[in-house]
Amino acid sequence: MRGILLLAVLWLGGCQHVAAPPVAGEIRDLRSGEILTAEQLLTQLSKPSQVIVGEQHDNADHHAVQLWLLQTLGEQRPQGSLLLEMLVPEQQSRVEQVQRAGTLPADLANALAWQDGWDWNLYGPIVRFALAQPYPVMAANLDNAEIRAFYRNPPALTGARSNAESVKAELLGDISESHCGLLPESQMPAMVAVQQQRDRRMASRLLAAPAPALLLAGTFHARKDVGVPLHVVDLGAVVAPTVLLLAQQGSEVTSAMADYVWYTPAMPAKDYCAEMRRQFGK
C-alpha cells in the first residue's frame, strides 16, 4: 500500500509541473470530434514517434504554442530531435557548432546565418530553447541551389500517394492563391514540383531523425492529405506521422488534413496581395 501511495504522489507531482499553455483556444481531436484540454493533447502527442506541427508562419500565438509543446513534451518523455523547415543544409554545421559549444552566443541569429525570411522575433525563443537541449536540431528544408535546380529541371516524383493528381491540383490551387494569382501559368508546374521536393526532403529527414521527432513546418507542408505525411508513407513508413495543425478560429480543418487542430484567436486580416502586387508591379 505504501508503494502505491508513493507512486500516486509522484504521479500527481508530475502533473503539477505541466505549465498552462500560453494561448487560449479550442483543441479538437479530429478523428473523434472530441474537444481536448491542452494536457490531454500533450498526453496524445507524447505517444507517437513522429509528430508534425503545422503553423501559420507570421502568427505569434502559433510560435508560443510550439515553444510550450517543445518544453512540455520534453517533460513527458525524452525528446529525440527537433526538425525545422526554417533551417537548410548549409546551416547544419553552424547549428552543430553552437550545440557543441554548450553556451549560446549573444548574437545567435548571426551565428546560425538565420535567413531574413523567417522572423527571428518569432522563431528565436524556440531555437534558443532547443539549442540548449541535448537532442539534435536538424535542418529539414532545401538549400537555395537545390531549389533553383529543381525549378529548372523538376525530377520525377516516385510514390502513389504524393503523385496523385488530386494532391498536385490542391497544391497548385494553394500556390496560385498564396501568390494572389500573379504567377504566370507557365511557372506553376515548376512551383508545385519545388513544393513537393521540399515535402520529400522533410519526410526523408524526419525518417532519419532520432525518435521521438518533432517537425515544425508550414500548414501545407504539415497536412496529411497533401504534405509531408504522404511522402513519409511513400518512402516506406508503415505509420504516418501524427499531425497537429495550428489554425485561426474560423479556419476549416478536417480529419483528412490532420489528427488534431488547435484553434487560436483570429488575427487582424492582412492584405498580403496588395504587397505582392506592388512587388510584381501590378
pLDDT of residue 269: 73
With CA atoms as reference, report the closest residue to 204 among 231, 230, 164: 231
Among 3.40.50.2300, 3.40.50.1000, 3.40.50.11550, 3.30.460.20, what is the CATH number of 20-280?
Answer: 3.40.50.11550
pLDDT of residue 258: 98
* Rounded alpha-carbon distances, angstroms, from residue 75 to 49, 178, 212: 16, 37, 13
Domain extents in the chain: 20-280
Q: What does the block give as the cell for 115?
A: 535567413
CA end-to-end span of the chain, whole Å?
A: 76
pLDDT of residue 175: 87
Q: Which residues of 22-55 are buried (b: 16+ CB within 10 A; e: fewer)?
A: ebebebbbbeeeeebebeebbebbbebebbbbbb
Rounded CA-CA distance 261/246 in Å is: 6
pLDDT of residue 17: 64
pLDDT of residue 15: 46
* pLDDT < 70: residue spans in the chain: 1-17, 271-272, 274-282
With CA atoms as reference, report the closest residue to 22 among 59, 56, 61: 61
pLDDT of residue 281: 63
pLDDT of residue 177: 86
